[in-house]
Amino acid sequence: MIQRRFMGPLALLLTLAGAAPATAQSFIGVQAFGLPIEPLEARSIGAGNLGIGLRGLEMSALDPTAGAWVPAPTVGVSMQPTWGDFTLGTEAGSSNWTRFPLVAIVYPVVSLGGTVTLSLGEALEQRWVAEVESVSELGGVSVPATDRFESEGGSSVARLGWIHRFGTRLAVGAVVGAYVGRLDQSFSRTLDSLAVGGNIQPFVDGGAWRYSGKTLTLGASADPSDLLHVAGAVEWSTDLEATPQEGTSGEGRSFGVPMKLSAGATGTLTPRLHLNASVRMQDWSGADGLANGEASDQSLSYGVGLEWRALQRETRSVPLRFGYRSVGLPYKMDGTDMTESAITMGLGLNFLETDGLRFGWLDVAMERGSRTGASLDETFWRATFSLGISGF
């Protein structure tokens, strides 16, 4: 009998069985607390940005001052389908999932000289299914069996922030957040009915855990000149707690989340062409809760890209975006740090804008990316669609 515990023992069981998930958001989702998700909208992704320092960005879960100059209440939502394949040694799997990485609201309070921000962004994802062919002993007879592992869930961060403006070139922001989410995992074993000479009900076991934790982010942005926009942020987090729910055996787990430092900038090359760059530092090497040798030594992520207004009219525009992003993941695999990298491109349809401020838009981004680490070779296509409305 297999006793349901947390992800760590289950990942070990998969390793001992020599199996990889047959379908998953990413094989990395099997590790510890799952696959980190960046709560970004399509404009940032298409331009190769990490969600900070992009001039005129209306909303971001990662930039506490994004939306500082939005003149009217604004709401945005993003949808992100993903298709991919991976190989791990002799095992192979595929992915085909859709998530909603970011929903955000920005509400200016003119009388107080600031803006309220509210967002719900995905943080970690643990959606995968794996099957292992095994043999069980039943009454002295070897019986073929199929073991099936399923994991569904993850965590998001609900954030509430305040941006305060100082003049027309400087803004500071503070954001508090809370991890919310749930993880459900199950194991089933089905015996070959022909081998046992009759139908036997599958053995099924499972458990559920609820995530909790708090975050605090402080940041600032400035326009030193009409040609340059810069921004920076620091985020602290309490431990990410996974608490067993009623009916789930075993203890929960706690994962340390290291401090995150982010910075970005946008430079104007011509009135219709902008260059952006962003960088993030987050050192997981000493994080609590990860097994020895599991935490990555790589702490750097970066992105760079261009945004070009291919079509410009008085109240409408169509920008094209191109970029490259490299994101350091929290884990090692067989002693090798894992990294996600992607070439990005995007298209924007700005239905109404004045003086560089958008009041209605649809952004689309497409990424061709890979995740690598020792024997893991994973490739994916990822699309992001973002719709925004301002002045409602």
Q: Give tens-digit pLDDT for 285-314.
A: 888 887 777 788 878 999 999 999 999 998
Structure tokens at 391: 């002045």
Least confident of 56-65, 174-183, 249-258, 265-274: 249-258
pTM for this predicted structure: 0.87
Average pLDDT, the chain: 87
Asked if residues 151 and 8 have their Cβ atoms less than 8 Å apart, the reply is no
DSSP labels for 285-333?
A: TT-TTSPTTTB-S--EEEEEEEEEEEEE-SS-EEEEEEEEEEEEEEEEE
The span from the CA of 359 to the CA of 73, in Å, is: 10
Query: How much is the average pLDDT of 4-18?
Result: 41
Q: In Å, how far are 48, 66, 105 from 391, measured between CA atoms?
A: 28, 17, 12
**3-state SS class at 256:** coil
For residue 32, the model assigns a pLDDT of 62
The answer on pLDDT for 186 being more than 50 is: yes
Position 23 scores a pLDDT of: 52
Q: Mean of the pLDDT values across residues 87-114?
A: 88
Query: What is the predicted pLDDT for the residue at 391?
Result: 85
Q: Summarize the confidence of residues 365-380 as an average pLDDT.
A: 87
Using the predicted structure, report yes or no on whether residue 75 has a pLDDT greater than 60.
yes
Residue ranges and CATH numbers for the domains of the chain are: 7-390 (2.40.160)
Please give the pLDDT value at position 378. Answer: 87
Interval 333-350: pLDDT, tens: 777 888 899 999 999 999
Secondary structure class of 19 (helix, strand, coil): coil
DSSP 110: G
pLDDT at 29: 52
Q: Which two tokens stand for residue 275?
A: 């260059």
Would you state the structure tokens that stand for residue 300, as one six-digit string? 């750097």
Residue pair 361/344 in contact by the 8 Å Cβ criterion:
no
3-state helix, strand and coil shares in percent for the chain, rounded to the nearest 5: 5, 65, 30
Mean pLDDT to the nearest integer, 101-111:
96
Structure tokens at 16: 């001992």
pLDDT value at 68 more than 90? yes
Tell me what pLDDT residue 5 has.
37
Q: In this predicted structure, what is the pLDDT of residue 28?
A: 53
Contact 129, 148 (CB under 8 A): yes
pLDDT digits (tens, 9 = 90+) for 193-210: 776 666 777 888 888 999
Q: Tell me, what's the pLDDT at 373?
A: 73
**82 pLDDT above the threshold of 90:** yes
Q: Is the pLDDT of residue 127 over 90?
A: no
For the residues 239-268, what does the mean pLDDT come to? 91
Q: Which residue has the higher pLDDT, 337 or 61?
A: 61
What's the rounded mean pLDDT across residues 261-287? Answer: 95
Q: What is the mean pLDDT of residues 130-142?
A: 78
Averaged pLDDT for residues 175-200: 84
Pairing of strands 128-138, 23-24: antiparallel
- The string of DSSP letters for 26-85 reads -GGGGSTT-EE-----HHHHHTT--SSS-TT----SS-TTTTTT--S-EEEEEEEEEEEE
At residue 15 the predicted structure's pLDDT band, cuts being 50, 70 and 90, is very low
Please give the average per-residue pLDDT across 141-168, as a whole number: 91
Cβ atoms of 40 and 16 within 8 Å: the answer is: no
Q: Pairing between strand 273-281 and 300-312?
A: antiparallel
Is the pLDDT reported for residue 90 higher than 60? yes
Question: What residues pair up with 265 in beta bridges, in sequence order?
Answer: 230, 277
Q: Band the pLDDT of 14: cuts 50, 70, 90.
A: very low
Q: Say how far apart CA 371 and CA 254 lie, in whole Å.
A: 26
Count of CB atoms situated within 10 Å of the CB of 39: 23
Nearest to 157, CA basis, from 116, 97, 211? 211
* DSSP structure string for 131-187: EEEEEEEETTEEEEEEEEEEEEEEEEEEEEEEEEEETTTEEEEEEEEEEEEEEEEEE
Average pLDDT over residues 132-158: 85
Residues in the chain, overall count: 392
Q: Which residues are registered as beta bridge partners of 216?
A: 176, 236
- Tokens standing for residue 110: 């003119």
Residues 283/289/291/295 CA torsion (nearest 10 deg): -10
